[in-house]
A and B are shown apart, each in its own frame.
Chain A
C-alpha cells in the first residue's frame, strides 16, 4: 500500500490516496470496514473524466482484482459480471454466443461497476434507456458485508446506486440482461447537414426509426454554419446485411467475430508536454471531417465496436491535451429548450474556446435513478483544454442557462460544477441523500467529487451529515 497520485481521464485536479487492491469480494468488505477517517471509494478503469474515482487523503479501492463473467441463465441472456470486469470483457464473452450488451458508452474500457455508478448511456438512449434498464440485480459491498439489491427488494437503494457515483456501496457484481444480435456489425446511415437546425431536424425526423443516432458537430464553424455536423444512424446488422463472404459461420470469419481493429497510441511524453492540440489543427481536422462526409443518406456496414466505441481508436487520447489536461463537459436540456444548444456553441466561439470535439444526441425516457443523468432532451458533449483562458467563466454561465432551462450536467464528466446548482439540476437529490444516510450513516464512502459538490449534504467528509427537506424541518440535525 502506498500513496498514489490519482486523476480522472481528464487529468485535472489530481489528488493522492492510499490505493488498496483487494483480490476478492470479502477483501473489499474488509477494506471498507478498515477505511480511515477520510473514507474510501471504489475505482475501476478510471474513465470518469473528473474526480469521481479519487479520494484525497483516504483510501481508493481498485476493483480491477474483481474480474470474471459467467452465465446466470444462458437461454434468457442473463449474464453475471464482476464489478471490476470491463465492458470489453463482457462483450467478448457475449458476442460469440449471439448476445451483446444493450447499452454501452463511447468506450469499452469502463468497468461494470463504473457503468452502474455513472448509469452510462449510449447512442440508443431513446430506444433502450440507460445502463440501469438492463440490470436485473446488483451486489453491493458495504463495511458491514455484501448485499444483493434488486429493484423489487430495495428499489430506493437499487435506483440510488445508478448515477450514485459509487457512494451507496462498491458494486462488486451485477446481473445484466443481454440483447440478441445476429452479427457483430452495424448497418449505418450517414449524412451531413450544414447547420444546427438542419442537424436537429434530421435527427428529430428519424426519431425512433433507428436504434442508434448520434451527430458529430464541427464546433469550430461559426456564422451560418454554426452547428454543422455529420449525423450517423445505425441498427444491428442482420446476416443479410453482410457481404456474402462474411455470412458463413466458419470459426475464423464468423459474422459474430469482431474483426481486429487498428489502434494508435498517444505516447506518454505527450501528456507531460505543455502544448495542447494546436487550435489551427483542430479547425483543420473538423473541416476535413465535415468535408469528407456524404451530403445525402449513405448506407454502409461497420464493425460493431468501431461504431460504438469511436474513442477507442486512439489509446491514451486524453494525453493529446498535454500537461494541464482537459475538461469534458456534457449537459442535457429538455426538448423545449433546444435553443440552449445553439447558445452554447455560439458562446464557446465568442469566448475564443471552441471545443475540439462536440457530440449531439437525443435522450429518451429517464430511468428512475435520482442522480441518473439522462432525461428526455438534447445532450451536447464537448471537450476543451482545461487551461484555456476564459473557459471557467463560459462554463459557469452555461451552467446557469442549463439549470434555468431545467437541464443538468453529467456527474461522470464533471470536474467543475458550482455546488449550489446541484440540487437545481438534480431535483431528486434529497431522495438520494435519504438513501445515502440510511445505507452509509458514517459517510465511509466518499470521493473528491462528493466533497466538491457536497453530494451527501455536508461540506465535511461527504457523508453522514444532512441537508435538504428533512433538515429544513429540524435544522439542529445538521451536525457536520
Chain B
C-alpha cells in the first residue's frame, strides 16, 4: 500500500534497465519499497539491476521478459504480474527509444517501430495496468514523457511525436481513473544525461536521472498530475508553445 507520503511498498517497472527508473527505485527502496518487478528486454541487464536493488534492501525482486513491440502479449503479462505480486502500489512506465532523427527520416519502417515502442506499447501496457489498478482500488501510475511532447522540433520530431501521443494518452487515462483510487502522474523531463542521450549535445536546462527521480518522488508526495524536471521548464515550455513558427524555428536551429 502507498502511505501518506505516496511511498509505495511494491513497484513494477516497465523498462527495467532505464537509468531514470533505477534512480527512482534507489530512492523508493530507502523508504518503503521491498518488492520490485523489473520488466524489460535484456534478462542479463535486468539481473544486474536486480542485484543492486537487493543490496539496497529490496527483499523480493522479480524479473520479467517484456517486449514492447509485442503488444498482443501485454495484457496477459500485466495480469500475471499483478496476480503474483498482489497490491502493486506503483507502476513506472520507463521504456522508450530516442532514435536517430536522420536515420528515421530515411527509414519509414524504423520510424514506425519507434512509434510502436514509444506510443503503441505505452497505450497497451497503460490500459492493461489501469484495469488492474481499478480492480484493486488504489495505486499510482507514473509515465515518463518528455518536454519534446510539448511542441515538435525539427531536430527530433519523430521522437517528439511519439512522446506527444503517449503524454496525451496518460493524461487522458488519469482523467478516466479519477474516483477509482488509482492516479496517473506524467513526468516531463528536459534533456536528461543518460545512455540514451550519450554523445548528443546537451540542450538548455539539461538534467540528470537523479534530479528526475527526486522530482518523481516529490510528485508522489504531493499527488501532482504533471511533473516537470527541472520545474522551470513548465514556464519555459508555456512560452515556447505559443511562439510564432518562424521565431520557434530560429530558436530550434541554434
| Contact, CB under 8 Å: B136 / A327 | no
- CB A370 to nearest CB in B, in angstroms, measures 22
Chain B CB within 8 A of A248 CB: no
| Contact, CB under 8 Å: A13 / B179 | no
Q: Which residues of B contact A382 (CB under 8 A)?
A: none
Chain B CB within 8 A of A372 CB: no
Binds B, one of A385-393, A430-438, A466-474: A385-393
| Contact, CB under 8 Å: B9 / A452 | yes
Distance in angstroms between the alpha carbons of A13 and B134 in the assembled complex: 15
Given A56-B137, A57-B135, A452-B1, are A392 and B180 neighbors across the interface (CB < 8 Å)?
no
Distance in angstroms between the alpha carbons of A419 and B31 in the assembled complex: 11
Chain A CB within 8 A of B221 CB: yes
Distance in angstroms between the alpha carbons of A416 and B180 in the assembled complex: 22
Indicate which residue in B5, B137, B223 contacts A15 across the interface (CB closer than 8 Å). B137
Chain A CB within 8 A of B218 CB: yes
Interface residues of B (CB under 8 A from A): 1-7, 9, 31-32, 35, 86-87, 134-138, 179-181, 218, 221-223
> Which residue on chain B has the smallest CB distance to residue A8?
B4
Q: Which residues of A contact B4 (CB under 8 A)?
A: 10, 12-13, 50, 325, 327, 386, 415-416
Q: Which residues of B contact A416 (CB under 8 A)?
A: 3-5, 7
Chain B CB within 8 A of A17 CB: yes
| Contact, CB under 8 Å: A15 / B138 | yes
Chain B CB within 8 A of A51 CB: yes
Q: Which residues of A contact B5 (CB under 8 A)?
A: 12, 386, 391-392, 416
> Which residue on chain A has the smallest CB distance to residue B7?
A392
B-contact 0/1 string along A1-17, CB 8 Å cutoff: 00101000010111111
> Which residue on chain B has the smallest CB distance to residue A458?
B86
Given A57-B137, A323-B223, are A15 and B181 neighbors across the interface (CB < 8 Å)?
yes
Chain B CB within 8 A of A38 CB: yes
| Contact, CB under 8 Å: B138 / A392 | no
Given A16-B181, A323-B223, are A57 and B32 neighbors across the interface (CB < 8 Å)?
no
Distance in angstroms between the alpha carbons of A3 and B87 in the assembled complex: 18
Q: Which 5 residue pairs are nearest across A and B when measured between Cβ atoms? A: A16-B181, A57-B137, A56-B137, A415-B4, A12-B4
- CB A320 to nearest CB in B, in angstroms, measures 16
| Contact, CB under 8 Å: A56 / B221 | no
Indicate which residue in A10, A50, A56, A325 contacts B181 across the interface (CB closer than 8 Å). A56
Distance in angstroms between the alpha carbons of A416 and B179 in the assembled complex: 22
Chain B CB within 8 A of A58 CB: yes
Distance in angstroms between the alpha carbons of A451 and B8 in the assembled complex: 12
Given A13-B2, A13-B3, A50-B4, are A460 and B86 neighbors across the interface (CB < 8 Å)?
yes
Q: Which residues of A contact B2 (CB under 8 A)?
A: 13
Distance in angstroms between the alpha carbons of A323 and B222 in the assembled complex: 9
Distance in angstroms between the alpha carbons of A49 and B218 in the assembled complex: 22
- CB B2 to nearest CB in A, in angstroms, measures 5
- CB B35 to nearest CB in A, in angstroms, measures 8
- CB B227 to nearest CB in A, in angstroms, measures 13
Distance in angstroms between the alpha carbons of A327 and B3 in the assembled complex: 10
Q: Which residues of B contact A452 (CB under 8 A)?
A: 1, 3, 9
Chain B CB within 8 A of A220 CB: no
Chain B CB within 8 A of A461 CB: yes
Interface residues of A (CB under 8 A from B): 3, 5, 10, 12-17, 38, 50-51, 55-58, 323-325, 327, 386-387, 389, 391-392, 396, 415-419, 448, 451-452, 459-461
| Contact, CB under 8 Å: A17 / B3 | no
Interface centre among A12, A50, A391, A460 (most CB of B within 10 A): A12
Indicate which residue in B9, B32, B181, B223 contacts A324 across the interface (CB closer than 8 Å). B223
A-B contact pairs, 24 of them (CB 8 A): A5-B179, A5-B180, A10-B4, A13-B2, A13-B3, A13-B6, A14-B181, A17-B137, A55-B137, A56-B137, A57-B181, A324-B222, A324-B223, A386-B221, A387-B223, A389-B221, A392-B31, A416-B3, A416-B4, A416-B5, A417-B3, A451-B87, A460-B86, A461-B86
- CB A140 to nearest CB in B, in angstroms, measures 25
| Contact, CB under 8 Å: B221 / A387 | yes
Distance in angstroms between the alpha carbons of A386 and B5 in the assembled complex: 7
Distance in angstroms between the alpha carbons of A131 and B7 in the assembled complex: 33
Q: Which residues of A contact B136 (CB under 8 A)?
A: 38, 56-57
| Contact, CB under 8 Å: B138 / A448 | yes
Distance in angstroms between the alpha carbons of A140 and B25 in the assembled complex: 43
Q: Which residues of A contact B223 (CB under 8 A)?
A: 323-324, 387
Distance in angstroms between the alpha carbons of A327 and B4 in the assembled complex: 7
- CB B195 to nearest CB in A, in angstroms, measures 30
Distance in angstroms between the alpha carbons of A459 and B3 in the assembled complex: 15
| Contact, CB under 8 Å: A3 / B137 | yes
Q: Which residues of B contact A58 (CB under 8 A)?
A: 137
Distance in angstroms between the alpha carbons of A13 and B32 in the assembled complex: 15
Indicate which residue in B35, B181, B221 contacts A392 across the interface (CB closer than 8 Å). B221
- CB A384 to nearest CB in B, in angstroms, measures 10
Known: A13-B4, A56-B138, A387-B221. 12 other contacts (CB 8 A): A5-B180, A5-B181, A12-B3, A14-B138, A16-B180, A16-B181, A50-B4, A57-B135, A415-B4, A417-B3, A451-B1, A459-B87
- CB B143 to nearest CB in A, in angstroms, measures 20
- CB A385 to nearest CB in B, in angstroms, measures 10
Distance in angstroms between the alpha carbons of A3 and B4 in the assembled complex: 21
Given A13-B3, A325-B4, A451-B87, are A387 and B137 neighbors across the interface (CB < 8 Å)?
no
- CB B166 to nearest CB in A, in angstroms, measures 25
Q: Which residues of A contact B87 (CB under 8 A)?
A: 56, 451, 459
> Which residue on chain B has the smallest CB distance to residue A386?
B4
> Which residue on chain B has the smallest CB distance to residue A328?
B4
> Which residue on chain A has the smallest CB distance to residue B1?
A452
| Contact, CB under 8 Å: B1 / A56 | yes
- CB B208 to nearest CB in A, in angstroms, measures 19
- CB B101 to nearest CB in A, in angstroms, measures 38
Distance in angstroms between the alpha carbons of A419 and B135 in the assembled complex: 24
> Which residue on chain A has the smallest CB distance to residue B217?
A392
Q: Which residues of B contact A387 (CB under 8 A)?
A: 221-223
Q: Which residues of B contact A17 (CB under 8 A)?
A: 137
| Contact, CB under 8 Å: A16 / B179 | yes
Distance in angstroms between the alpha carbons of A50 and B2 in the assembled complex: 11
- CB A394 to nearest CB in B, in angstroms, measures 11
Distance in angstroms between the alpha carbons of A425 and B144 in the assembled complex: 39
Q: Which residues of A contact B180 (CB under 8 A)?
A: 3, 5, 16
Q: Which residues of B contact A13 (CB under 8 A)?
A: 1-4, 6, 138
| Contact, CB under 8 Å: B138 / A16 | yes
- CB A158 to nearest CB in B, in angstroms, measures 29
Distance in angstroms between the alpha carbons of A326 and B186 in the assembled complex: 24
Interface centre among B86, B87, B138, B180 (most CB of A within 10 A): B138
